[in-house]
């Protein structure tokens, strides 16, 4: 069996003046890579953002931004895609090569019914009539693991959960049984449990329909049991290629080794006896309600009882939408719809947020942002405030040149460092970290996690650490609380 896909010397570059100080100040270009894929194979392309993995995927899918210049050959099914006209290319897009994306929340058209969006592929590439098309769409939705396809057919994307939307995307991408599906971080934005379900679904489709999958991810761990072969990319080049066994157990390149090392290991220090330690937080018989539209209150937490002690890191896990954020808001006093007892033994509990992009005011300088809590306190002079801000900034690993920069000029990891500094500037001893690393690249993740640990030791902090990533939880936490159906259980 010959190769279905052969990429030869692919180069992608952008003109200098466009991609300016964006989220990541890295060179996104692809620097002459070559690889091939067999029919029905699952190939994973791994690398951090800026490694060129997404640009490679977009080149094959024919979706590169207009400002990009590309060269080389992409031979698919014996014909060079790069040499095709736009029209010839369109005939292949969606029919022979389909694609699913990272953000199921935004990848569907918000004002078009789901059924119609799936059906569009048939409309574009087949001559089927309306009833035949609908029949196929319902079948595809069902094959993608969606119950009640008839109801979904008439739903709008916002009425679906993230996992369901990704399934709808998959239905769309496989309805014509293309030879190749490109999946660009398809599970990154999803909960761990949904993630596993989606991977299983992709694997099943791959086996049943002999559909090749080019799987792009920054997470080596995700693809371990999933793919036939792994391609590791770094700075626009393929640095290593091999089977999962070869990559995981006999990595040759330093970069691959570093990637492997940054997967948090499952070594958890067993919860120490904390009877003689001071409590920083105790929660008794806590009920939390969430105000729905129209003023009605919906109970999300039922009778929660737990305590967090000095210098302890407690993990909080549970499904998304299960009330983790409502609970942390209640603890911080940001949600007033509660009853029960929440007792703090520390002033100013603080929070580190998931989204380092959205949680800092974009028009203010980092110095201004960090100084704000101190200004509100009115205890220090201007000079003292400045000194304290600068000291804290250095403590989280940023020098004072960052004082005058704005959040837009920082990378995701740098912004999260600022977020941590902001949480610590009032000398709080109790921090709630809500998915603090899930928006970051894996190598950056490891850095932020070790920073949190270091600061914890140095300042004697306690953390309530919220995450859906069990690997991270196991790495970080002394104890784990699980939130299920609104009730809190302690994991032994």
Interface contacts to another protein, rule CB under 8 A: 61-63, 90-95, 98-99, 101, 103, 106-112, 120-121, 124-125, 156, 158-159, 169, 172, 293
Q: Smaller CB distance to another protein: residue 170 or 263?
A: 170
CA 475/CA 465 separation, integer angstroms? 11
DSSP code for 335: -
Burial of residue 212 (number of CB atoms within 10 Å: 0-12, 13-18, 19+)? buried
Angle between helices 162-174 and 192-209 (to 10 degrees): 10
CA–CA distances in Å: residue 29 to residues 13, 16, 354: 5, 11, 28
Q: Smaller CB distance to another protein: residue 1 or 111?
A: 111
Q: Smaller CB distance to another protein: residue 158 or 427?
A: 158
Q: Smaller CB distance to another protein: residue 92 or 421?
A: 92
CA 177/CA 174 separation, integer angstroms? 5
Q: Smaller CB distance to another protein: residue 267 or 293?
A: 293
- For residue 379, the minimal CB distance to another protein (Å) is 43
- For residue 172, the minimal CB distance to another protein (Å) is 7
H-assigned helices in 83-227: 86-92, 114-125, 130-143, 149-153, 162-174, 192-209, 220-223
CA 227/CA 43 separation, integer angstroms? 6
207: Cβ–Cβ under 8 A, 6 or more apart, which residues?
none
What one-character-per-residue DSSP string does 81-116 give? GGGS-HHHHHHHBTTTEEEE-S-TTTSS-TTS-HHH
Q: What tokens appear for 26 in the block? A: 């890295």
- For residue 426, the minimal CB distance to another protein (Å) is 37
The SS3 assignment for 417 reads helix
- For residue 100, the minimal CB distance to another protein (Å) is 8
Left (φ > 0), alpha (ψ -120 to 50) or beta: where does 80 sit?
A: beta
- For residue 428, the minimal CB distance to another protein (Å) is 37
Q: Smaller CB distance to another protein: residue 61 or 301?
A: 61
Q: Smaller CB distance to another protein: residue 172 or 351?
A: 172
- For residue 89, the minimal CB distance to another protein (Å) is 8
- For residue 65, the minimal CB distance to another protein (Å) is 9
CA 7/CA 60 separation, integer angstroms? 9
Is 174 in contact with 146 (CB distance < 8 Å)? no
- For residue 59, the minimal CB distance to another protein (Å) is 13
Q: Smaller CB distance to another protein: residue 159 or 243?
A: 159
- For residue 62, the minimal CB distance to another protein (Å) is 8
Q: Smaller CB distance to another protein: residue 180 or 433?
A: 180
Q: Smaller CB distance to another protein: residue 118 or 449?
A: 118
- For residue 107, the minimal CB distance to another protein (Å) is 5
Q: What tokens appear for 464 in the block? A: 């309530």
Location of structure tokens 């080596």: 220
């Amino acid at each position: 069996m010959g190769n279905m896909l052969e990429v030869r010397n692919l180069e992608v570059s952008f003109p200098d003046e466009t991609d300016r100080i964006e989220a990541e100040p890295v060179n996104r270009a692809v620097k002459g890579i070559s690889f091939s894929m067999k029919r029905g194979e699952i190939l994973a392309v791994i690398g951090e953002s800026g490694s060129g993995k997404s640009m490679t995927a977009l080149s094959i899918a024919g979706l590169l931004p207009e400002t990009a210049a590309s060269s080389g050959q992409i031979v698919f099914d014996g014909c060079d895609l790069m040499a095709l006209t736009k029209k010839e290319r369109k005939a292949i897009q969606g029919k022979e090569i389909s694609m699913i994306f990272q953000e199921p929340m935004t990848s569907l058209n918000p004002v078009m019914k789901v059924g119609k969006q799936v059906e569009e592929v048939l409309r574009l590439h087949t001559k089927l009539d309306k009833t035949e098309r609908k029949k196929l769409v319902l079948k595809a939705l069902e094959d993608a693991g969606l119950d009640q396809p008839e109801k979904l057919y008439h739903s709008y994307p916002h009425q679906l959960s993230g996992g369901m939307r990704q399934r709808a995307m998959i239905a769309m991408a496989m309805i014509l049984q293309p030879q190749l599906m490109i999946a660009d971080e398809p599970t990154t934005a999803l909960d761990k449990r949904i993630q596993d379900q989606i991977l299983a679904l992709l694997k099943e489709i791959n086996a049943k329909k002999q559909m090749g999958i080019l799987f792009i991810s920054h997470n080596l761990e995700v693809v371990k049991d999933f793919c036939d072969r792994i391609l590791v990319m770094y700075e626009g080049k393929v640095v290593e290629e091999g089977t999962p066994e070869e990559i995981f157990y006999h990595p040759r390149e330093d970069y691959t080794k570093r990637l492997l090392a940054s997967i948090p290991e499952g070594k958890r220090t067993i919860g120490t006896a904390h009877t003689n330690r001071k409590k920083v937080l105790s929660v008794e018989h806590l009920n939390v309600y969430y105000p729905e539209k129209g003023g009605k209150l919906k109970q999300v937490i039922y009778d929660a009882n737990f305590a967090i002690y000095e210098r302890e890191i407690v993990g909080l896990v549970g499904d998304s939408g299960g009330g983790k954020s409502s609970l942390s808001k209640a603890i911080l006093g940001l949600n007033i719809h509660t009853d029960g007892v929440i007792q703090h033994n520390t002033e100013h509990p603080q929070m580190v947020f998931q989204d380092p992009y959205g949680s800092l005011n974009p028009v203010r300088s980092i110095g201004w942002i960090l100084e704000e809590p101190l200004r509100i306190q009115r205890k220090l002079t201007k000079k003292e405030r400045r000194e304290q801000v600068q000291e804290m900034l250095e403590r989280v690993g940023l020098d004072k040149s960052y004082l005058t920069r704005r959040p837009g000029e920082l990378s995701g990891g740098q912004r999260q460092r600022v977020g941590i500094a902001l949480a610590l500037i009032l000398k709080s001893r109790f921090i709630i970290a809500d998915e603090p690393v899930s928006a970051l690249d894996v190598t950056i993740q490891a850095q932020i996690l070790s920073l949190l640990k270091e600061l914890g030791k140095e300042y004697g902090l306690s953390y309530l650490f919220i995450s859906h990533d069990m690997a991270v939880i196991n790495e970080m936490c002394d104890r784990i609380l699980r939130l299920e159906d609104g009730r809190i259980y302690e994991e032994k």
